[in-house]
Homo-oligomer: A and B are copies of this chain.
Amino acid sequence: VVEKEEGVTVDALLFDVFGTLVDWRTSLIDELTAFAAARGLTVPVAALVDDWRGAYVPSMDGVRRGSLPWTCLDALHRLSLDALLAREGLDLAEADRAHLARAWHRLRPWPDTVPGMTRLRARYPLGSLSNGNVALQVHLARFAGLPFDVLFSAEQFRRYKPDPEVYLGACAWLALPPARVMLVAAHNRDLDGARAVGMHTAFVARPTEYGPRQDRDLAPSAGVDVAASDLVELADRLGA
């Protein structure tokens, strides 16, 4: 790993949430497995979860390019769930669909997430900077016990990351120039968006986020300030 700089000093840390702080894939697989067993349904659970997450970037990009009006992530998750259920020939009741779409509110943190954030919070104000809408983040942070000081959401700017308005808007609300704020994320696309507006960046490796055959985001792209194997190591690296 090549790191741009040691001794970076910032006044606040912002965190990507899905994948970086919570393990959406195994959490959703467990939810869908339990649901299918309770209903006596045969469902290709892992494929469904991977395809559900796979719909995430294309659906947001529709909003980003203007081919869809502003639609929050809970609503995008529900739209893509309905499409996947139709494909699988699963005609679920409304209450079941709503329950499954809300599974994104019940994701487990990685083992290092809460201990690492707790150490980092003793030194830095911690905010989220997530494409998840505010209500989703409130529920998820409570479920997973994520110790944030403040939540920032794409919804508040009606733009999705990596659009620059999201990063710049959160820094403005922190009353800090982007160069005094660090984004922590497991995804190079997100870190590149933050770096483009002048923020510092920390890459945290989540090599099984997408499952055992993950082939992306295994290492940081050029220009990252700090790279760490998890959030406890990041706390070490940032002196927290």
Q: Which of B135, B149, B156, B175 contacts A174 (CB 8 A)?
A: B135
Between A138, A141, A142, A155, the greatest number of chain B beta carbons within 10 A of the residue's beta carbon is seen for A138
The interface on chain A, measured as residues whose beta carbon lies within 8 A of the other chain's beta carbons, has a size of 22
Q: How many copies does the complex hold?
A: 2
* Contact flag A142-B149 (CB < 8 Å), given A74-B175, A155-B173: yes
Residues of B within 8 A of A127 (CB): 138
Q: Is the CB of A135 within 8 A of B74?
A: no
Q: Is A78 an interface residue (CB 8 A)?
A: no
Q: Does A125 contact B (CB under 8 A)?
A: yes
Indicate if A103 sits at the interface (CB-CB under 8 A): no
Contacts of A156 in B (CB 8 A): 156, 173
Residue contact A138 to B174, C-beta cutoff 8 Å: yes
Task: Report A's interface with B, CB cutoff 8 A.
Answer: 12, 74, 125, 127, 133-135, 137-139, 141-142, 149-151, 153, 155-156, 173-176
